[in-house]
Amino acid sequence: QEKSRWEILQQEQRLIEEKNKRKKALLAKTIAERSKRTQAETVKLKRIQKELQALDDMVSADIGILRNRIDQASLDYSYARKRYDKAESEYVAAKLDLQHKTEIKEHLTEHLCTIIQQNELRKARKLEELMQQLDVEADEENMELEIEVERMLQQQEAEAGRQASQSHNHAGTAKGNSTPRVTTQESEHGSCASPAISEQSLQSENSSTKSHSNMDSQTPAVNVTPGNSPACSAT
């Protein structure tokens, strides 16, 4: 009975030891599997963290580039805004100055016209007084006709001089650079000669008018030169 108990104890001991071995092996296997699983999860987590970090770095780089561009754009905008404000203020000041100078010019021109007109009116009254003192009657219609004819002659002569100068200029352009100087001088001489011709024609016409008036009425004639007519030209 004692041996049997000893054997039973040994058998139970062996059974317990076998169970413990198997349990230990099962635990070791479970730990190994879970360790592998943990390592895989750790690697996966590290990979995910690296990918997230790469995305963050990419976004940070893009944000940095955009911030630099925004800073440069802000500087450019500030410079352009200052330049625009300066140009706008200069434009407003120049416009106001132009308006003021234009008003002054128009006022002075109007004043000049008024002075010339008053002077001509005084001359006309004085001439009327002189003509009344000399018992001379002026034919207003003939005077107006003569003045109109003289104006037409002056316009024709000016147009002829202009056409001659244009023809000389065209001819000089076809010949070369040296010839236009000569044609320009010729056109200048032609334009300078036209007033002399006009003056001669006016003098001859006035003399003929005098002769006709002397023959018709045997009274002194008063000639009115076109320079005494009221004229006003704004420069």
Alpha helical stretches, state H, the chain = 2-133, 140-175, 179-217
Any domain includes 156: yes
**CA 196 → CA 30, 116, 149, 202, distances in Å?**
131, 25, 17, 10
- The domain total for the chain is 1
**Structure confidence by residue, pLDDT tens digits, 47-65:** 998 988 888 888 888 888 9
pLDDT at 202 over 90: no
Q: Is the residue at 205 inside a domain?
A: no
Q: 174 lies in a domain?
A: no
Q: What is the pLDDT of residues 89-133, one digit of tens each?
A: 999 999 999 999 999 999 999 999 999 999 999 998 888 888 787
Tell me, yes or no, whether 129 lies in a domain.
yes
Is the model's pLDDT at 204 over the cut of 60? no
> Under 8 Å CB-to-CB from 143, ≥6 apart: which residues?
224
Within 10 A of 123 (CB to CB), how many other CB atoms are there? 13
Full-model pTM: 0.36
Residue 212 located in a structural domain:
no
- Residue span of the structural domain in which 47 resides: 1-165
pLDDT digits (tens, 9 = 90+) for 154-197: 999 999 988 888 887 777 666 555 444 444 444 344 433 344 33
Determine the Cα–Cα distance for residues 188 and 165; give it in Å rounded to an integer: 8
